[in-house]
Structure formats: C-alpha cells, structure tokens
C-alpha cells in the first residue's frame, strides 16, 4: 500500500502539534507541513496534493465548509472533519458531511491534548479509511432542498381496543421491519435513501457510526429533508411505518418486540467491533426478535461491523441486502458481509429506497 500523505488544516497550534505527532508515528502515513487556515493550505497544495485532509471547520480568513466545497468542486479529495463536541459544532459538521466530507474526528474544548492522544487509534483508522474512500461518489451528489416547513408527517395510527387504554397486542405479528447499518460515507448514503422514501414506508431502525452528540443533529437534518419522520432513538420508542430511528452516538441500539409491536432499547455497554453503537448489536437483536419479518441492509463503511449480525439475520430467515461496490464510498462492511455468506443480494445505492418500499 502506498504512503498516505495527510495535510492538517487547523488554526489551533496545539491541535496541529498533537495530530502531527500522532499521525507521523504511524507507519504508512506521511504528514505534510500543516496549515493554520485554508488559504495557507491552498498554497501548500500547489506544491503537493494530499491524499487526505484533516480539516477544522471554524477558522479565520476562510471557514472549513467553504474550503471543503471548493476542494470537492475542483479536485475531490478525502476530507476528515475535526470538530468540537458542541451543539454548534455538530450542526456545522452536518453541513460538512453533506458537502462531501468522509468522516468526523471530534475534539473537546477542554483537555484537548490528552483527548487526542487517547483517541489516537480512532484517528488513525479514520484517516486510513478516508484514504480508501471513493470520493467521486460524494462529489457527484447534490445537496437536496429541505421540505417546506412545517411539513405534516404522520406515523401509523395506534388502534385501541374499545374502552382500553393501551394498544392491542397480538402474540404473533407479520409486521415487517427494516434495519440498516453503515459507517464511512453512510451519512450521505442514508440521506439519499431516506429522502427517496414515500411517507408510507416500513418502520426503519438505523445504526450509523457517529460520535456522541452528533446523531441528534444528523437526525434533525434528515427529518427536515424527508417525507418520513426521522429522529434520534430514545428508549422504548415504537418502530412504526413512516418513521426511522437512528441510534444515538455512544449507545447501542437493539430491536425488541412485545406482542405485535416493535420498539427499541437504548443501552450502554462495551465497544463491539470498535464501535458503540454497533451494527452487529442491532442486527443480532433483529435476528432474535423479528426473524423472517426483518430486512437487513448493510451499506458503505470500513471494517467488518455488521457482517456477523447479518449472517445471523440470514440464518433466521430475514431478507438481507448489501450496497454494491460501485456505489459505496468504502466497500469494507458490505464486502465482509458478502464474504461470510450473509447477503442475499447486492444492489446499487439508487435502488435501496425502492427495495424498502417493496418490503
């Protein structure tokens, strides 16, 4: 594998110093002279073009979003966003991901140096994943126009028994439920899929690898763009037609069933396949409680999270789909699921929404 040339663009001298030290210590990564702002970065890039850019979003002279859009328009290059763990930082990061950034690296306002050192493994893996990304897929996308607000959205009506104060629950159910797992490149891929769904669609539960505090902003953005309702999952949320639930960052999400109804459980727990939330955790719960009534979809991402869980779903009688290589930003997760024998069919990203509506 060729050496990965990385350009760090951040106005914090401490961040630049720590990132340079961490990445330079990794075999196969070469760190170019860092830049304190995008204008200086463009001068650096005239001399040597990087394979990956690690980019802050809040900088003087030119903000990171403007710089990112310029790069993706002129010469698409993998960009990893280095963003603060704040509500404002999360919203800005959603803009960056929509504009073509591959992934997120978070940084707190306090204890920055130690945090970055503790997160060294994640940083290195993120940069390595970005270097393999098919950024042409990101550059080809156009940002959708938000739906007119307020948008009337309705999930399935709850049918109450006469005089009863609770939902009727049958011992058996034929209700179908869709579970989706994705990682690198997944925010853009999910946006393409979910915005194409009609208001009447099966209930969907999603794990997207994303840091804590960012999933609420991500769900809110999707909700503004989609005909279906999209929200960050909370414990005991119902899984109903017309709604997509997204696992909160830093927590695992499981599918549960009570009688004829599906709901989700949000839990703490150790990392699984280096992730929390983990796709495997969701898929295994779907295999157990939904069986043949479930549809599993594994999409773009690096690594093998979800491959074992998808095989369990397949063996339980669920329908299982993988995004094809040509439409993936990173083909790692679908490729591993296919290799293990858990995938019924591979389909392009453009067909996944239709597959969901046919469930």
The residues annotated as belonging to the active site are: 183, 209, 305
Which tokens go with 258?
Answer: 């009570």
- Specify the DSSP element, H or E, that contains 222: helix 215-225
What is the Cα–Cα distance from 171 to 152, expressed in whole angstroms? 33
CA dihedral over 107, 53, 331, 199, signed as positive or negative: positive
Contacts 24+ apart (CB under 8 A), 161-170: 167/261, 168/260, 169/258, 169/259, 169/260, 169/261, 170/259, 170/260
Q: Assess contact for 206 and 247: CB atoms under 8 A.
A: yes
Buried b (16+ CB within 10 A) or exposed e, 64-74: bbebbeebbee
């Amino acid at each position: 594998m060729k050496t990965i040339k990385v350009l760090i663009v951040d106005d914090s001298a401490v961040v630049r110093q720590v990132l340079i030290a961490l990445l330079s210590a990794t075999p196969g990564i070469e760190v170019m002279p860092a830049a304190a702002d995008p204008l200086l970065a463009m001068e650096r890039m005239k001399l040597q073009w990087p394979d990956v850019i690690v980019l802050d979003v809040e900088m003087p002279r030119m903000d990171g979003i403007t710089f990112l859009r310029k790069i993706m328009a002129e010469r698409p290059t993998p960009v990893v966003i280095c963003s603060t763990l704040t509500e404002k930082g999360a919203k800005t990061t959603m803009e960056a991901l929509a504009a073509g950034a591959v992934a997120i690296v978070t940084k707190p306002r306090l204890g920055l140096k130690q945090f970055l050192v503790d997160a060294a493994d994640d940083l290195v893996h993120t940069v390595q994943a970005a270097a393999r990304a098919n950024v042409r897929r990101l550059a080809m996308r156009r940002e959708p126009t938000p739906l007119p607000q307020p948008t009337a959205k309705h999930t399935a009506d709850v049918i109450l028994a006469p005089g009863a104060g609770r939902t009727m629950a049958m011992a058996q159910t034929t209700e179908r439920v869709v579970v989706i797992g994705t990682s690198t490149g997944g925010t853009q891929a999910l946006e393409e899929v979910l915005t194409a769904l009609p208001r009447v669609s099966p209930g969907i539960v999603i794990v997207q690898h994303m840091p804590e505090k960012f999933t609420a902003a991500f769900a809110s953005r999707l909700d503004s763009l989609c005909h279906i309702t999209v929200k960050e999952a909370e414990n005991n949320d119902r899984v109903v037609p017309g709604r997509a639930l997204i696992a909160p960052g830093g927590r695992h999400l499981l599918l549960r069933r009570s009688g004829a109804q599906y709901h989700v459980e949000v839990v703490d727990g150790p990392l699984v396949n280096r992730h929390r939330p983990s796709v495997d955790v969701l898929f295994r719960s779907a295999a157990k409680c939904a069986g043949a009534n479930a549809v599993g979809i594994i999409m773009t991402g690096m690594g093998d999270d979800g491959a074992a869980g998808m095989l369990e779903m397949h063996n339980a009688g669920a329908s299982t789909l993988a995004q094809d290589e040509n439409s993936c930003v990173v083909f790692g997760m679908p490729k591993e699921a296919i290799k293990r024998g858990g995938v019924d069919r591979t389909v392009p990203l453009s067909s996944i929404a239709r597959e969901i509506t046919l469930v």
